[in-house]
Structure formats: C-alpha cells, structure tokens
Amino acid sequence: MEEQELPLGLGMALAQHPGALQRFAALSEAERQSVIDSAHAVRSKAEMQTLVDYLTADM
C-alpha cells in the first residue's frame, strides 16, 4: 500500500491535540492510512474534530 501524505487539516488538528497525535503515531501503517483516508472525506472543522476525538476515545 502506498502511504499518502498527511492532509493539512488532519495535521493541524493532531497538533492541537497531543493525545490524539500520540495515539495516531502508535497506530499500524494500515490504521494510519485508514485515518488519512477518512480525513480526505472530511468537509468541516466539526467533522475533523469528530475524527480526532475518535483517536482519543477508549477503544
């Protein structure tokens, strides 16, 4: 699988939420790619916040 570059909005949201950034960094390559793919479909700040909140939720 070819790794895609981190979308700017996702990078900014992760930078504002260190816990989410740490969780994102701990994901497997496939899991990170899934989050990146999801970020490409985000159309609002609220949707991006929901995606970042998902990373910090207890799984």
Domain residue spans in the chain? 8-56
Q: How far is Cα of residue 23 from the mean position of the Cα atoms in its chain?
A: 9
Dist CA 31 CA 19 (whole Å): 16
Q: Which two tokens stand for residue 18?
A: 């260190």
Handedness of CA 36, 17, 21, 56 (dihedral sign): negative
Question: pTM of the predicted model, to two decimals?
Answer: 0.85
Query: Looking at residue 2, what is its pLDDT?
Result: 54
State mean pLDDT over 25-43: 96
* Confidence class for position 57, pLDDT limits 50, 70, 90: confident
State mean pLDDT over 17-35: 95
Query: Looking at residue 1, what is its pLDDT?
Result: 46
Question: DSSP H helical segments within 1-59, as ranges?
Answer: 8-15, 18-26, 29-40, 45-56
Dist CA 45 CA 27 (whole Å): 23
pLDDT > 90? residue 20: yes
